[in-house]
Amino acid sequence: MSDTNKFDQIKDWYVSNFTRFESKLNGQSETFLHDIRKESLTKFKELHFPTIKDEEWKYTNVAPLLKDNFQLPQYLGKTVIDEKFIYNNSFTDFDYDRIVFVNGKYSPEHSIIGELPKGAVISSLESAIKNYPELVREYIGKHTKVDNAFVAMNLTYSTDGLFVYLPKGQMLERPLQVFFVSGSDEDKVLSIPRSLIIAEEGSAAKLIVNYVGTGSNSYFTNTLTEIHTGANSNIDYIKLQDEKKNSFHIDHTFVYQDKGNIFNHYSFAFGAALSRTDVSSVLDNENIECHYYGIYLGTDKQHIDHHTFVDHAKPNCMSNEVYKGILDDQSRGVFNGQIMVRPDAQKTNAYQSNKTILLSDKANIDTKPQLEIFANDVKCSHGATIGKLDQEAYFYIRSRGVEDKIAQSMLIHAFAADVIEAVNIEPMRDQLNHKLFEKLNRVEI
C-alpha cells in the first residue's frame, strides 16, 4: 500500500471521530467558531497528510506519527501535573506572568497572571470567544493558510489555546511564559492547541512559549498560532520546543506584520522524535523588521524540520534569519528558508543564514534556501554551511591544556552564541545554554 493510501486511512479515522467530538462540545458548538470548524472539517476531508512526494515535505516522512491513533484529550481522564513540574521547566530569575495549558486545555490552577495594563487580556481562547467574540471573530483565521491536513486537523479539533490581546499603546511589563504541557499515562494523546495573539498599534510584549511533555506514552502536539501585529508594535516570540523524545510536534505559526512593526521569532527545537515548525510572516506595509532565529539540536534518531517563509509584500522592509543546527548521532535536520520579494517590495533587505555542525558521521542535514525575487532594487543574501567542528580551533583550544570534550563544548557554545545572545531576556541566555548542553548530553560551557 502506498503512503498516500495508508495516510488516508488514518486520516479517515481522525475524520470519523468528529461526530463523537461534536457531541461533547457542549457550549462551543453554538459559537461562530463552530462554523469555522465545520468548514475546516470539509477541508480536512479533502486534503491529505503530506508524503515525501510533496515538495514541502520532501525530507520529512510523517509515517512514524501516523502509525498511532492519537486520542483527543476529551475522551481521556485529566492529566494532572504538579507545580514543581511547571517550575522545573520554567525560565527563572525574572518576573513573569504564566499561563498553562494541559493537552491543549487551559489550566487555571497553574496559571498566575498579575495586573495587566489597561484593556490587555491574557486568557484562554475558549473564554475569549465568550468574552470578546467580536475581537476574536475579526482576527481569527485571517491569515492562516490551510494547505495541508495538519493545519485542517488543528482547525477542526482545537477548542482552546492561548489568547493575548494588547490594546493600542499598551506594553506587557513582564514577559509571559506560556506552557503547553502534553501527554497522558492513560493513552496516546492528541494535544491540539490553537492560539491567537493580537497586538495593536504601538503595543509591545515578550512571550516565551514552552512545549513540554509528561506521562509515559508518546503524544502528538499539533499546534497553530496566529500573530497579528499592529503598526509600530514590538513583539518577541520565543518558542522552546522541548517535547518528550518519544513524541511528535507539528507547529504552524502565521504572522501578519504591519507598518513599522518589529517582530522577533526564536525557535529552540530541542525535543521530540519528529518535529516540524513552519513560521511565516507577511510584511504587509513599510519599515517592518522581521527577525527569525533558531537553534535545532538532534541526538539519537531525532528528526527536526524548520520551514520558514518571509513574504516581503511592501517596500523598505528588512528581514534577517539566522538558523543554527547541532546534530549528533543519527539525527536529521531539515531547513527550508523561503523568501519572497514581491514586485512592490523595492528597497527590501533580506538576509538568511543556515549553519549546521554535524557531530557524528551519521547525522545529516538537508538545507535549502528558496529565494523568489520579483523586485529589482533589493539586497538579498543567503548562505548555508554544513560541517564538522572546526579542527584548527579544536586543536587551538586543546593546545592550551583543555581536554577534548571541553574543547568540543567550547566550540559548540561559540557556534550557538550569537543566536542565544539575540534573546532579549538576559537571564534566559544562560538557561538556554544550560538546556542545550543538557540535551546534547555534553559538558556545559
Partner 1 sequence: MIKIKNLHASVEGNEILRGIDLEINAGEVHAIMGPNGSGKSTLANVLAGHEGFEVTEGEVIFEGKKLLDMAPEERARDGVFLAFQYPIEIPGISNATFLKTAINEIRKAHDQEEISAKEFLERTRKYAKLLNMPDNLISRSVNSGFSGGEKKKNEIFQMLMLNPKLALLDETDSGLDIDALKIVSEGVNHFRSKENAVLLVTHYQRLLNYIVPDFVHVLSNGKIIKSGGKELAFELEEKGYDWIKNEELETA
User: What residue ranges bind partner 1 (CB under 8 A)?
Assistant: 390-393, 395-404, 406-407, 410-411, 413-418, 421, 445
Closer residue to partner 1, CB minimum distance, 211 or 268: 268
Nearest-CA neighbor of 251 among 158, 352, 364, 355?
Answer: 158
Q: Smallest gap, in angstroms, from Cβ of residue 415 to partner 1?
A: 8
Closer residue to partner 1, CB minimum distance, 52 or 417: 417
**Edge-to-edge strands, sheet with 289-298:** 105-106, 97-102, 176-182, 204-213, 234-242, 262-269, 289-298, 318-327, 348-358, 378-387
Q: Cell numbers at residue 285, please? A: 506595509
| Distance (Å, whole) CA 255 – CA 227 | 5
Q: Smallest gap, in angstroms, from Cβ of residue 445 to partner 1?
A: 7
Q: Smallest gap, in angstroms, from Cβ of residue 354 to partner 1?
A: 18
* Three-class SS state of 438: helix
* Three-class SS state of 26: helix
Closer residue to partner 1, CB minimum distance, 301 or 398: 398
Task: Determine what percent of the chain falls in helix, strand and coil, rounding each to the nearest 5.
Answer: 25, 35, 35
Residue 363, φ and ψ in degrees, nearest 5: -80, 160
Closer residue to partner 1, CB minimum distance, 75 or 396: 396
Closer residue to partner 1, CB minimum distance, 288 or 326: 326
Q: Smallest gap, in angstroms, from Cβ of residue 81 to partner 1?
A: 35
- What is the CA 77 to chain-centroid distance, rounded? 27
Q: Smallest gap, in angstroms, from Cβ of residue 392 to partner 1?
A: 6
Q: Smallest gap, in angstroms, from Cβ of residue 418 to partner 1?
A: 7
Q: Smallest gap, in angstroms, from Cβ of residue 407 to partner 1?
A: 8
Alpha carbon dihedral 371, 61, 273, 193, in 10-degree steps, equals 70
Q: Smallest gap, in angstroms, from Cβ of residue 124 to partner 1?
A: 39
* Three-class SS state of 6: helix
Closer residue to partner 1, CB minimum distance, 220 or 293: 293
Q: How many CA atoms lie within 13 A of 391 on its CB side?
A: 2
| Distance (Å, whole) CA 247 – CA 219 | 5
Closer residue to partner 1, CB minimum distance, 76 or 445: 445
| Distance (Å, whole) CA 421 – CA 303 | 25
Q: Cell numbers at residue 17, please? A: 471521530
Closer residue to partner 1, CB minimum distance, 121 or 414: 414
| Distance (Å, whole) CA 418 – CA 354 | 13
